Chains A and B, each alone.
Chain A
Amino acid sequence: MKTIARVLLVLALGAAPAWAVLGEYESSVSLDTQFMRGEDRVTSAQGYKFHQITSPTGAVVTEYISPEGKVFGISWRAPVIPNLEKLLGSYITPVQQAAQAQTRRRGGPFIVRASDLVFVSGGHMRGFHGSAYVPSLLPRNVSAEVVR
């Protein structure tokens, strides 16, 4: 029984949900450990689709895919901020730069409006939420408001 449990665990880790990076095509990148053994659900909407992965402890990451198969937005609601480097890919750079330049705002949401990225991180301990999208990748007739 113990062996079976171990084998299952390894399979689950190896088969971590296929997850893509913002701005890239829908290809396989695993999330951080809080999303291991998560449940992936794909939903079709008008002009786009989204993957929603829910961890056993209730953390949720949603990834928005254009008809061309590119990730145009991501969002999260989780007890701990997910690893944004894995989610944002190359779009992490303007976020890192902005993180160095914060003034006077304390404890409030962190917002980045770069040339082709809109990013917000908010919430509080045990309830972090945020989103990021690439305006130039928004599918035709799809509002940025869907990324939430």
Chain B
Amino acid sequence: MTLRRHSVVPLSRLLAVVGGLIFLASCGGSSSTPITTTPPPSTTNNTVDLSVNLGPTNDYVNGLFASVEVCEPGSTTSCATVANVLVDTGSEGLRLLSGAVSGLTLPAVTDSSGNAVQECIGFISLAYIWGPVVQADIHLGGETAASASVHIISESPQYAVPSSCIPTGPVGTPEDYNSVSALGANGILGVANFPQDCGSGCADTSTAPAQYYSCPSGNCNITAVPTTATKGQVWNPVALFSTDNNGVLINLTSIASGGAATDAGSLIFGIGTQTNNALGSAQVYGVTDQGFFTTTYKGTEYTGSFIDSGSNAYYFLDSGTLGGLDCADNAGWYCPASPLSFTATNTGTNGTTGSVTFTIDNADSLFATSDAAFNDLGGDSGNSPSTDYFDFGVPFFFGRNVFVGIAGQTVTGVSNVPYGFWAY
């Protein structure tokens, strides 16, 4: 969260320009050159360091964090580097706490009436975040999302949060995640399967849900925001890069069972665009228009399954179904007497099928350590017996190459996945 001013163009950006020139030169070849569908390899630095640690509040278990640099649009000097941004394969777009970018002047994104756009995101925990949508250049490694729409999570909101966007309604005291202490991070970097955080539904006033608002004369009402790459909805920044923009690869070092103090890894942009992001032996699982695949466990299909680096455990089934795995101390977690192994089968919309095996250990014992990284942490996913999904959270990522393919983008050798995919 430091404000950094630099006047030297990073080497990676110079390389990006050189790479572009080579590409242009190669396009001027003779007409007899056969047409190839393989894009020229990018030479941009496409890697950002990842860390699993306890985060800025020192209590986040299995939190996956990265640093993100944002600059005033077009500037290479008015920039801020924000550390401890949660890397989330369960959402789209960059959201930063207002305090992390308070030194920057970032222009507002406005709706068709010229009013500044505000955004409200409800979490499945029924918490929410709220604040304006602004434009910024996002720098991740050598990649740039220029003039991207970024959601600012207001620590002191200009407008009161509209009751219509709070999942639990205006009565009571709804959970407010507009602070470091509640969010457990300085922001969220959403790199999931879709280009935008809403899509066509938010672009039309007749269908827009309670997500984008504008507040003429202080009264906030739902407003339409287009899906355009700039001055529109908040985008997955990866889809805005000029290269390496078809998805990401997350690679975390494997850890031993029972916990590790921390872990490290890489967030690599692009799939099959450079030597460091080839699919290799990874199997491709297509997802539905809402980003789900099917997990089968003991003959039952769970059709709303997903992989989510923003979930800090394996969340699946429930204690009743599993024969009583409730913890003595930590409600909602699993506490087997000794480590339990589970095998499930994942099936993509493209027909790919493969089995996944994972182990769950005693959460009470795991939490008694001061470790941040656990590959064997699990909790329940709902009400017996009608849970309908497996949520493969951060533990799934340790020691694996996990690819997230963005809907509508091309990946060499991958077809029949209109809404994007997972590969591992």
The residues of A with any CB-CB pair to B shorter than 8 Å are: 9, 32-34, 36-37, 55-59, 77-86, 92-93, 95-97, 99-100, 102-111, 113, 118-131, 133, 143-148
Contact = CB atoms under 8 A, between A and B. Distances in A.
B367 interface: yes
Contacts of A102: 125, 175
A84 B312 contact: no
A83 B164 contact: yes
Contacts of B168: 84-85, 92, 95-96, 99
B391 A109 contact: yes
Contacts of B171: 85, 92, 96
Contacts of B125: 99, 102, 105, 110, 121
30 contacts: A33-B222, A34-B201, A34-B208, A57-B201, A79-B198, A79-B199, A80-B211, A83-B167, A83-B169, A83-B210, A84-B167, A93-B172, A99-B127, A99-B174, A102-B125, A103-B330, A104-B61, A104-B333, A105-B379, A106-B63, A107-B310, A107-B312, A107-B393, A110-B124, A121-B167, A124-B291, A125-B92, A125-B192, A126-B192, A144-B383
Contact of A127 (B59, B292, B380): B292
Contact of A108 (B60, B211, B312): B312
Given A105-B379, A110-B126, A125-B92, A81 B167 contact: yes
A96 to B, nearest CB: 4
Interface in B100-149: 121-122, 124-127
B210 A80 contact: yes
A57 B201 CA distance: 6
B19 interface: no
B192 A124 contact: yes
B126, B190, B292 — most chain A CB neighbours (10 Å): B126
Contacts of B389: 122-123, 129
Contacts of B367: 104
A100 B290 contact: no
B381 A122 contact: yes
Given A84-B126, A99-B174, A126 B381 contact: no
Contacts of A77: 290, 304
A81 B124 contact: yes
A25 B121 CA distance: 31
Contacts of B169: 83-86, 92
B308 interface: yes
A9 B310 CA distance: 39
- Which 7 A-B pairs give the minimum distances between C-beta atoms? A85-B169, A127-B290, A57-B201, A124-B90, A34-B209, A120-B382, A80-B209
B323 interface: no
A9 B205 CA distance: 12
B91 interface: yes
Nearest to A130: B124
Contacts of A145: 385-386
Given A59-B209, A120-B387, A81 B393 contact: no
A133 B382 CA distance: 12
A58 B200 CA distance: 11
A108 B391 contact: yes
Contacts of B333: 104-105
Contacts of A146: 386
A72 B94 CA distance: 39
Nearest to A80: B209
Contacts of A92: 168-169, 171-172
Interface string B56-83: 0001111100000000000000000000
B175 A100 contact: yes
B332 interface: yes
A95 B288 CA distance: 29
B90, B168, B291 — most chain A CB neighbours (10 Å): B168
Nearest to A35: B209
B126 to A, nearest CB: 5
Contact of B386 (A93, A125, A128, A148): A148
